[in-house]
Structure 1
Amino acid sequence: MASSPEALIARFALQPHPEGGWYRELHRSACQVQRSEDGRQRAGLTVIVFLLTEGQRSRWHRVAGGDEVWHHAGGDPLDLWRLPPQGGTAERLVLGPLAGEAIGDPEPSPLQVVPAGWWQAARSRGRWSLLHCCVGPGFAFEDFQLLADLLPSERPAGADPALL
């Protein structure tokens, strides 16, 4: 595996993502499904490779109509926050290897799920974190919303403003 962010960006031909970090779509299922809540057609599944480097963040965002599964693929552990659509208390999860975390941290896991419509944000705990993100039904940018695009009065309580 490449050992620097620059090498990973080159190896996977990554592009800047609107939420922050770097990405490239790896798979878009040819199988189409109809979403139950609005009847729209979507690919059954999409998968991206996603890289966050030191100092970058995946800004608060949500994906309508599709659960997102984050898989730690390499590098340093990652903090992932998720917040219910209506707001409340943001939950901090840790993605990464199953050993070596500080006492008092949430138990690290190589996989975490963000339910459809929930707000999410992330930040690497080190030099870089490489992930695979799977969305089903598949991701479409028309289903993507950045929290920063909402008026401050419309933003749910509980979202750390440092991750906007």
Structure 2
Amino acid sequence: MNKQDIIEQLSLVKHIEGGYFKETYRSDITVNTDRKGSERKLLTSIYYLLTDDSPVDYFHKNKSDIIHYFHIGYPITYLIVDLQGKLSRFKLGFDVSRGHVLQLLVPKNCWKAAILEEGEFGLLGEAVAPGFEYIDMELAQPDSFKASFPNLWDELSPYVKH
């Protein structure tokens, strides 16, 4: 199985953050949120694929917690900048003996990027609660991201969409 097989068989499309995706679930249940009295679906889920020709999921943040699950392919490195500006790195993959994690929680409002550093593809699943809405996602803007994290800018700038 190669990246094109996965894209076709799972009906994935290009994502604004980089890579490919397809929503696979959107709950019928809604919950009230603190977002101006709005309601959100309780849970959404997607497939997310990074490939050797689209290897970066550019820095962005969400207003919901997201759990990422590794499915198949090569490991994916996550860079997470928390609310205090601390950078953490995680490798999502199968080889737990090498420090890989099989699933990863990215808390709401933390900046995150993901990188396929080797191989043809890495396929993930993501569960978002409350459910994902594009209005709740913010792509990092180079100038404001650099101003917020000047000490990290040289290291992180390749993963900010320009």
1:145 and 2:145 correspond: no
- In the other structure, the counterpart of 2:75 is 77
More helix by share: 2
For residues 153 and 73 of structure 1, what CA distance do their matches in structure 2 show? 33
3-state SS of paired residue (2:141): helix
Secondary structure of the residue aligned to 1:139 is: coil
Whole-angstrom CA distance in 2 between matches of 1:12 and 1:150: 36
Give the one of 77, 95, 98 matched to 1:98: 95
SS at match of 1:74: strand
- Once residues 18 and 96 of structure 2 are traced to their aligned partners in structure 1, the CA distance between those partners, rounded to angstroms, is 27
Structure 1 residue aligned with 2:128, among 106, 116, 135? Answer: 135
Which residue of structure 2 aligns with residue 163 of structure 1?
159
1:58 is matched with which residue?
Answer: 57
* Matching of residue 120 in structure 1 with residue 103 in structure 2: no
> 2: CA distance between counterparts of 1:76 and 1:119?
23
The counterpart of 1:21, out of the listed 10, 14, 19, is: 19
Give, in angstroms, the shift of residue 39 of structure 1: 2.9
Structure 1: give runs of 5+ residues left out of the alignment: 102-106
Please give the alpha-carbon distance, in whole angstroms, between the structure 2 residues aligned to 1:50 and 1:150: 27
| CA shift in 2, pair 1:83/1:153, >3 Å | closer
Scaled by the length of structure 1, the TM-score of the pair is 0.87
Matching residue of 1:110: 102
Aligned residue number for residue 32 of structure 1: 30
Instruction: Indicate if the aligned counterparts of 1:147 and 1:155 stay in contact, CA closer than 8 A.
Output: no
Letter in 2 for 1:82: I
Instruction: Give TM-score scaled by structure 2 length.
Output: 0.88
Q: Alignment identity in percent?
A: 26
Per-residue deviation at 1:137? 0.2
Q: Distance in 2 between matches of 1:24 and 1:109?
A: 23
Against the structure 1 CA distance between its residues 100 and 128, is the aligned structure 2 distance closer, same or farther, given a 3 Å change threshold?
Answer: farther
Contact preservation (8 Å) 2:78, 2:91:
yes
Query: What residue number does 2:43 align with?
Result: 45
Separation (CA, whole Å) in 2 of partners of 1:99 and 1:31: 35
Change (3 A) 1:5 1:153: closer
